């Protein structure tokens, strides 16, 4: 089961994502990135974080340790921003903490990486299984850590709140009808590294059993599963997650992603996007010098 800690010091908000998580220190002397129940994404995002994060860990992928964190809004009373204060007040009680990785850096399109196709394949396979729509070239939700020391930097998986998209439509005619739905890999962050998804499927699909999924869903607090329309309590809802993910694992032949774009195709698409962005700029803005990225090849306009 996930360890429980209590936040004793609120350090700062992180504004890189829409949920505005916060960095806290806890009573176990650890530092965590806290995902709040009161965020706009709601409790289902935390359910996805636990289910997908712990599934990734059981399959041998690197995910920062997750903990259940008790939070008293009084701990963050010094936070000056009103919108953050409102978030903290809505999040009293049990929240989700992710171990803070000091010195880690986000993977961006410019990050130079030497990614093993086997590891890339396993990450892509996990994302396809769990319908994770938020590991793209534009927002990889991957980190490289450590960046210092004697060990070679490794990929770490973070932020799985946007996965399990099916659980936002439990009232659909049949959620199981989507168990064979294909996964769009055109913009996946690791598509350019030749992911060996067939090898990943042969290795990982047999591991995703109903027993394993029951162990993982048991780690989600009852409070985050309460009051879901159409379900008679948290245990019945847990069983629905188990049934869906087990069915999707068995149907991997139907959704296994294999058609990854080449580096040249990705570069060409990036160039098309850049041209489209430039064309959409208003005329007055096109006269503003380009202060970012590559030098502007156009001659500088001289003003009297």
Give the DSSP letter string of 208-271: --HHHHHHHHTTS-GGGTTT-TT-SSHHHHHHHHHHHHHHHHHTHHHH----PPPHHHHHHHHH
Closest CA to 55 of 199, 220, 188, 176: 220
CA–CA–CA angle 184, 188, 191 (5° rounding): 105
User: What's the CA gap between 218 and 97, in Å, rounded?
Assistant: 17
- Give residue 99's pLDDT band: very low, low, confident or very high (50, 70, 90): very high
Q: What pLDDT score was predicted for residue 158?
A: 96
Least confident residue range of 51-65, 100-114, 170-184: 170-184
Question: For residue 140, is pLDDT > 50?
Answer: yes
Residues contacting 48, CB < 8 A, separation 6+: 130, 160, 161, 162, 163, 164, 167
- Give yes or no for residue 289 having a pLDDT over 60: no
Residue 255 reports pLDDT greater than 70: yes
Q: Of the candidates 68, 76, 182, which has an alpha carbon nearest to the alpha carbon of residue 127?
A: 182
Q: Is the backbone peptide bond immediately before 172 cis, with ω within 30 degrees of 0?
A: no
Amino acid 172: pLDDT: 58
User: What DSSP state is assigned to residue 36?
Assistant: P
pLDDT level of residue 304 (50, 70, 90 thresholds): very low
Distance CA 196, CA 119 (A): 8
Residue 297 has pLDDT above 50, yes or no: no
Residue whose entry in the numeric block shows the structure tokens 């139907």: 254
Q: Which pLDDT band holds residue 5 (cuts at 50, 70, 90)?
A: very high
Two tokens, residue 100: 């803070």
Looking at residue 290, what is its pLDDT? Answer: 55
Q: How confident is the model at residue 272 (pLDDT cuts 50, 70, 90)?
A: confident
Q: pLDDT band at 288, cuts 50/70/90?
A: low
Query: Is pLDDT above 50 for 59?
Result: yes
For the ranges 67-71, 117-121, 218-222, 228-232, the lowest mean pLDDT is seen at 228-232
| Model confidence band, residue 295 (pLDDT cutoffs 50, 70, 90) | very low
Mean pLDDT of the 272-292 span: 67
Cβ–Cβ contacts within 10 Å for residue 303, how many? 5
| Higher per-residue confidence, 66 vs 171 | 66
Distance between CA atoms of residues 52 and 156, nearest Å: 13
pLDDT at position 150 is 53
Give CA separation, 13 vs 6, 21, 93, 177, 272, in Å: 17, 6, 18, 40, 35
Average pLDDT, the chain: 88
pLDDT band at 300 (very low <50, low <70, confident <90, very high): very low
Look at residue 15 in the predicted model and tell me its pLDDT. 79
pLDDT digits (tens, 9 = 90+) for 151-200: 677 999 999 999 999 999 887 557 888 899 999 888 899 998 999 999 99
pLDDT in tens, 21-37: 999 999 999 999 999 99
Instruction: List, for residues 126-139, the tens digit of each pLDDT value.
Output: 999 999 999 998 89
Residue 87 has pLDDT above 50, yes or no: yes
pLDDT at 301 over 70: no
Query: Which token pair is 285?
Result: 């803005």
């Amino acid at each position: 089961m996930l360890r429980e800690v209590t936040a004793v010091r609120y350090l700062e908000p992180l504004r890189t994502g829409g949920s505005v998580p916060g960095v806290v220190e806890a009573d176990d002397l650890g530092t965590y990135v806290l995902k709040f129940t009161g965020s706009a994404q709601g409790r289902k995002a935390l359910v996805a974080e636990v289910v997908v994060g712990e599934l990734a860990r059981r399959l041998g992928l690197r995910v920062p340790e997750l903990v259940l964190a008790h939070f008293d809004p009084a701990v963050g009373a010094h936070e000056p921003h009103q919108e953050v204060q409102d978030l903290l007040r809505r999040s009293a009680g049990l929240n989700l903490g992710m171990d803070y990785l000091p010195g880690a850096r986000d993977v961006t399109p410019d990050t130079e990486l030497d990614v093993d196709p086997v590891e890339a394949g396993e990450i892509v396979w996990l994302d396809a299984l769990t319908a994770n729509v938020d590991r793209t070239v534009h927002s990889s939700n991957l980190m490289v850590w450590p960046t210092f020391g004697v060990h070679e930097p490794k990929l770490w998986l973070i932020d799985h709140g946007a996965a399990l998209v099916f659980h936002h439509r439990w009232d659909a005619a049949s959620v199981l009808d989507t168990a064979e739905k294909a996964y769009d890999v055109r913009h996946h962050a690791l598509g350019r590294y030749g992911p060996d998804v067939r090898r990943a499927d042969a290795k990982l699909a047999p591991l995703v059993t109903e027993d394993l999924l029951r162990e993982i869903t048991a780690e989600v607090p009852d409070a985050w599963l309460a009051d879901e329309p159409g379900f008679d309590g948290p245990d019945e809802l847990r069983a629905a997650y188990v049934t869906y993910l087990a069915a999707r694992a068995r149907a991997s032949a139907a959704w296994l992603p294999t058609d990854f774009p080449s580096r040249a195709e990705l570069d060409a698409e990036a160039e098309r996007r850049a041209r489209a962005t430039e064309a959409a700029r208003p005329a007055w803005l096109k006269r503003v010098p380009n202060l970012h990225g590559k030098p502007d090849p156009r001659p500088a306009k001289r003003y009297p």
